[in-house]
Structure 1
Amino acid sequence: MRAAFLRLCLTWLLLPLLLAGCASVPAPTDGWQALAPGLRYRAWSPWPGSEVQALQVDLAQVRPVLSPPTEAGQTVEAMASGQGALASVNASFFDRDFRPRGLTVSAGQPWPELLQPAPAVADPVLACALRCVILLQAPVTPEPGWQLAVSGTPWLVRDGEPRTAEDDTLCAYLCARTHPRTAVGLDASGRTLLLLLAAGRRGDVAGLTLSQTAQLLRDLGAWQAFNLDGGGSSTLLVSGSSRLPRPFNEPALRRVANALHFFPR
């Protein structure tokens, strides 16, 4: 009887410690960190020497905006259109005058003096009206109702199939060599936008090939995806602060043609 009583007392004494131990076990995680309602962030190293970051955007809760032509030639950090944004990334390829390549629309208005792709070739485009779509061959002119359009090259994921290393051989310098990267994808439902950025030109951290970039975007759930301007242009701001490590040869943010900003709806 005395032994049973002692066991009962010991159990009550140890119970708080046992409960505290259970409470301290970390909850399962998929690597994503919530930045705001509808916006999640992830950073990881999928291969030795790689540094990758991603944004997952719920388009029902977060609104994408493309910076206007008046801000072309500024760093993403300096753009007034990004003030108060949850996050921002660089976007279009551009020429020396900061004119974007491909179909480009901000606030429902096409950009003037567009740089057109080569004849009979239409770059992929992300376009948003009431909903967002990725077209791997953009039309010559914006479709009615488009509030945002931003182009890039080349395609990364087509109908759920990522490009391969063999595809990369067709554009050896841009595709098959490792570089810092910025890329965009959309899931099959059209409700989730995915942004992937890779650091590079940092000693052992060289960057990614495009087939590697495509594989990661597909793993994250992209159904359609394409490449945006990369290299020294690759920029990720979260609440106005730079997150993506810079190339050693270009420590300051580069001036770019435009940027995608993300705001709460």
Structure 2
Amino acid sequence: MNRAMSSLAMSASLVLASCAGGPPLSKGKPFDLTPPQQRLAPGIQFSQRLWPGPVPMQVSIVEVDLTTRDLGLVVGGIAADAKGEYLSRTTSSFVRDTGAVVAINGGYFSPVVNAEGQALDAIGFSKSGGLLQSPPNTAQTAGMATAVVCFKRREIAILATFSCPDRFTDGLAAGPILVAAGKVVTDVKNTTRHPRSAIGMNARGDRLWLITIDGRQPGYSEGASFEETARILVALGATEALNLDGGGSTALVARDGSGKPRQLNRPIQGGVPGRERPVANHIGVFELSRPIR
């Protein structure tokens, strides 16, 4: 087992508003909070919803009940040699290789590649199993990676810092923070819509949401701005939320009944719907009763 996968960590009523500089997010139709849900594993539910508004936004949602004892979270990636911190891998390959119930792409990285097994550097902090995989940013090099999500057993924190406190075994840098103390805090002037990935949690720390919003697919899903992504998370119940890497990196994948990976959203690497981008690291949800491969 890769050392970056050696630790598990556990610890997610909106009044619809207008997007700054753009058309209203909703024309009064409520966000359907009770669509048919599919159970991926005990404590893990999946649903897909169309956010009401002026353009189509397909939202794929995984909700994790963190009171479920058999569940754990991992920040994982393939540790590379001296040429890079990680080797590139798609989210589907991560699920297939590790046996995760579900996984979402993680933080920012460089360079963007089209093939798996290429050397990548994570942009900012990344820690797995108590081992530092990528050092923290400085204020001069952070870009959008100005915050972290941190895990240790049942404890989860989303912090506006460049690294996780030492007590956390796993974490990664991303950004910007979308929601803090139940309030949308992201830059409302940024109205550009792209595919988005994000993680959110509720105030009690017993619910976690992993969401993707498909984009760059006219007529199916246009993508979302940072503010729209934040408002979707608040509608679900998140009081803290962090934007992850998006665009062609956006991918949410589950393990099917035969153990094979199944895409829950529609990625769009290189303009091809359904194609996944190989990325540096992932956030995975695992059943503790099943060994991590």
Once the two structures are TM-superposed, the CA of residue 202 in structure 1 deviates from its matched residue by 0.8
Q: Give, in angstroms, the shift of residue 135 of structure 1.
A: 3.0
Q: Which residue in 2 is equivalent to 1:49?
A: 56
Is the counterpart of residue 193 in structure 1 residue 198 in structure 2? no
Contact 1:98 1:257 in 2 (8 A): yes
* 1:153 shift after superposition: 0.9
AA partner of residue 158 (structure 1): A
- How much is the aligned-residue C-alpha RMSD, in angstroms? 2.3
Aligned residue among 254, 258, 263 for 1:242: 263
Matched, 1:258 2:281: yes
Aligned to 1:160: 182
Instruction: Work out which of the residue numbers 58, 68, 73 in structure 1 matches 2:65.
Output: 58
Q: What is the alpha-carbon distance in structure 1 between the residues aligned to residue 132 and residue 251 of structure 2?
A: 24
- Supply the distance in 1 between the matched residues of 2:280 and 2:223 (Cα, whole angstroms): 22
Q: Could you list the runs of 5+ residues in structure 1 that have no partner in the other structure?
A: 1-28
Deviation at 1:78, TM superposition (A): 2.1
Aligned residue type for 1:168: V
The 1:82–1:38 alpha-carbon spacing in structure 2 relative to 1, beyond 3 Å, is farther
Paired with 1:109 and 1:200, the residues of 2 have a C-alpha distance of 34
Of stretches 204-213 and 121-130 in structure 1, the one that deviates more from structure 2 is: 121-130
SS in 1 for 2:272: coil
TM superposition shift of 1:133: 2.5
Give 1:179 deviation, angstroms: 0.4
Whether 1:151 aligns to 2:158 is no
Which deviations, in whole Å up to 9, do the C-alpha atoms of 1:169-205 show, x marking residues without a partner?
2xx4xxx200000000111011111111011111222
Alignment of 1:13-24 (within 5 A): none
Cα distance in 1 for partners of 2:156, 2:98 equals 25
Partner residue of 1:214? 230
Cα separation, partners in 2 of 1:208 and 1:80, compared to 1, 3 Å: closer
Q: How far apart are the structure 1 equivalents of 2:223 and 2:148?
A: 24
3-state secondary structure, aligned to 2:122 = coil
- Secondary structure at 1:189's aligned position in 2? coil
Shift of 1:118: 2.4
Q: Contact 2:158/2:242 (CA < 8 Å) preserved in 1?
A: no
Distance 1:234 1:80 in 2: 15
Matching residue's letter, 2:34: D
TM-score by length of 1: 0.78
Classify 1:94/1:159 alpha carbon distance in 2 versus 1 (closer, same or farther; 3 Å).
Answer: same
Q: What SS does structure 2 have at the residue aligned with 1:111? A: strand
Larger Rg: 1
Question: Residue 182 and residue 232 in structure 1: after superposition, are their counterparts in 2 closer, same or farther (change >3 A)?
Answer: same
CA distance in 2, matches of 1:35, 1:119: 41
Partner Cα separation in structure 1 for residue 141 and residue 276 of structure 2 = 34
More helix by share: 1
CA distance in 2, matches of 1:152, 1:81: 24
Give the direction of change, closer, same or farther, for the CA distance of 1:232–1:144 in structure 2 (3 Å limit): same
Quote the offset at 1:82 in angstroms: 4.8
Q: What displacement does 1:117 show?
A: 4.3
Name the CA distance, whole Å, in 1 between partners of 2:179 and 2:171: 18
Shift of 1:124: 1.8
Find runs of 4+ consecutive structure 1 residues off by over 6 angstroms.
none
* CA distance, structure 2, for counterparts of residue 144 and residue 81 of structure 1: 30
Gaps of 5+ in 2: 1-32, 80-85, 112-118, 256-260, 289-293
Matched residues, number: 228
Separation of aligned partners in 2, 1:107 and 1:150: 12
Matched, 1:68 2:77: yes
Which residue in 2 is equivalent to 1:127?
Answer: 150
Shift of 1:69: 4.2
Q: Where is the strand percentage greater, Structure 1 or Structure 2? A: 2
- Distance in 1 separating the partners of 2:201 and 2:167: 19
Contact 2:150–2:156 (8 Å) recurs in 1? yes
**Residues 1:35 and 2:55 are matched in the alignment:** no
